[in-house]
Amino acid sequence: MSATSLATTADSAACCPTGTPESLGEADARDGARVLKALADPNRLRLLSIVKNGPENGTCVCDLTEPLQLGQPTVSHHLKVLVDAGFLAREKRGTWAYYTLRPEALEDTTALIMGL
């Protein structure tokens, strides 16, 4: 191998690392994308805001359709996405479901974004 080839190979290795220990792994990237996708909808952001600013003991699903001017099935879908992503906790009380914000989920999301 010539000196030029060795220099080119060394330069490529120095400028194009194949990965670092700090890089986001495949599973973490997939989980992070699911979380960020849950936040990427304006209706879901509004739901988070309503629940966050609602009663401490939870916001009833019955109080979430009118502010968004959406049907109950659509609101339920958005709430399920937020629960599955870990942003909201759901508690069934009789025939109604009540939702509370999981503050640690917001902290985890901040850590995810800061760690990129």
Domains of the chain, by residue range, sit at: 27-114
pLDDT at position 71 is 93
- Two structure tokens written together for 15: 């400028």
CATH code reported for the domain at 27-114: 1.10.10.10
pLDDT at position 76 is 95
The number of C-alpha atoms within 13 Å of 112 and in the hemisphere containing its C-beta is 17
Where residue 7 falls among pLDDT bands split at 50, 70, 90?
low
Burial of 87 (0-12, 13-18, 19+ CB in 10 A): buried
Rg of the chain over Cα atoms, rounded to whole angstroms, equals: 22
* Tally of helices (H runs) and strands (E runs) in the chain: 6, 3
- Two structure tokens written together for 68: 């968004």
